[in-house]
């Protein structure tokens, strides 16, 4: 289990690196518009963007390794610390020291994640043993939710659009993690290339990348980041319990779960409002365009 935790934290660090590098490149393009082939071509010619893509691939590989050695209810909540890593990395790269509020929020988020995982203490369950019907209803339900969020997001404007697209991307990432869990479980018994999850992931992975690029351009970090950060583990927890049959503690432990979730949510919002991160998208990007960044 310790190996799973280390791999998940390393994946969060790689994703944070990708976020900083991608937004450095994305800020050179007009914000608020939809992604196009021309914009992708422009981004692909920027070393920072290519470095971000490399970091995404490294992070994904680490996440796959973590999901292969631990339950989804353990791995996905740990990825929440990506936002804290992003803030620390931003401070180092752009030489902007963190203030007391940011450090308190980072500590609170870490404590919230720890409390949540201790309260849940996931055990049992298996993606490979989950019935076809459970997989089908999970896929249909998640797909409909993402479609609804995307449709609502593209009708909204400014921060409303960014918030809805952020939740859609986080939901899709949670679904992708479920597919990875199914894939690794199938490979563990020598059935990987016969599992439909393997081929579904070939479609879901690029689709998630495209959604992420749109979310990066949708609006301010303060609007998109909380939903993106929090919806991923929430969807993963739902998949773990409802589809994979993983068991969690009940009784008084539910209070610890709720307390941890509230603490994580509050600290996520606090970190998303950090001036250090907002400098990358608004006033700071106009002051120092050569060092602007943003966060998925």
The residue among 182 and 2 whose pLDDT is bigger is: 182
Average pLDDT taken over every residue of the chain: 82
Question: Where along the chain do its domains lie?
Answer: 2-291
pLDDT score for 263: 93
* Mean pLDDT within 152-164: 84
**pLDDT tens digits for range 49-105:** 788 889 989 999 999 999 999 899 999 999 898 888 888 887 777 677 788 888 999
Rounded-to-5 percentages of helix, strand, coil across the chain: 80, 0, 20
Most confident option among 118-127, 171-180, 187-196, 285-294: 171-180
Give the CA distances from residue 257 to residues 5, 9, 12, 105, in Å, rounded to whole numbers and listed in that order: 18, 20, 21, 18
pLDDT 10s digits, 95-119: 777 888 889 999 999 999 999 999 9
pLDDT of residue 291: 33
Rounded average pLDDT over 257-266: 92
pLDDT tens digits, residue range 6-50? 999 999 999 888 877 876 665 555 554 455 556 566 666 677 778
Q: Is 269 left (phi over 0), alpha (psi -120 to 50) or beta?
A: alpha
Instruction: Give yes or no for a contact between 259 and 111, defined as CB atoms under 8 angstroms apart.
Output: no
Confidence of residue 281 (pLDDT cuts 50, 70, 90): very low
The Cβ-side half-sphere exposure at 76, using a 13 Å CA radius, reads 30
Residue whose C-alpha is closest to residue 70's, from 116, 9, 119: 9
3-class state of residue 123 by DSSP:
strand
Measure the CA–CA gap between 197 and 185, rounded to whole angstroms: 10
Please give the pLDDT value at position 260: 92
pLDDT tens readout for residues 216-256? 677 666 677 788 888 998 999 999 999 999 998 988 899 99
Q: Rounded to two decimals, what is the model's pTM? A: 0.81
> What's the pLDDT at 175?
96
């Amino acid at each position: 289990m310790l190996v799973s935790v280390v791999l998940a934290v390393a994946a969060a660090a790689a994703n944070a690196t990708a976020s900083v590098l991608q937004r450095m490149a994305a800020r050179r393009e007009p914000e608020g518009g939809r992604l196009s082939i021309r914009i992708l071509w422009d981004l692909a010619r920027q070393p920072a963007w290519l470095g971000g893509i490399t970091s995404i691939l490294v992070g994904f590989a680490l996440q796959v390794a973590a999901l292969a050695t631990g339950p989804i209810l353990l791995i996905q909540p740990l990825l929440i610390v990506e936002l804290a890593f992003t803030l620390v990395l931003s401070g180092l790269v752009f030489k902007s020291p963190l203030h007391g509020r940011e450090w308190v929020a980072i500590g609170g988020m870490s404590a919230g994640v720890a409390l949540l995982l201790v309260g849940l203490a996931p055990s049992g369950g298996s993606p490979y043993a989950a019935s076809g019907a459970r997989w089908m209803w999970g896929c249909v339900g998640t797909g409909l939710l993402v479609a609804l969020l995307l449709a609502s997001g593209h009708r909204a404007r400014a921060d409303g659009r960014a918030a809805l697209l952020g939740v859609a991307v986080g939901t899709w990432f949670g679904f992708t993690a479920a597919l990875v869990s199914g894939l690794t479980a199938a490979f563990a018994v020598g059935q990987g290339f016969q599992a439909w999850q393997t081929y579904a992931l070939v479609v879901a992975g690029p689709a998630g990348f495209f959604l992420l690029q749109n979310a990066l351009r949708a609006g301010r970090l303060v609007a998109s980041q909380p939903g993106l950060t929090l919806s991923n583990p929430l969807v993963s927890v739902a998949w773990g319990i409802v589809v994979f049959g993983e068991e969690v503690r009940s009784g008084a432990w539910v209070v610890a779960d709720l307390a941890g979730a509230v603490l994580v949510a509050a600290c996520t919002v606090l970190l998303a409002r950090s001036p250090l991160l907002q400098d990358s998208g608004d006033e700071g990007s106009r002051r120092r365009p050569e060092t602007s960044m943003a966060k998925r």
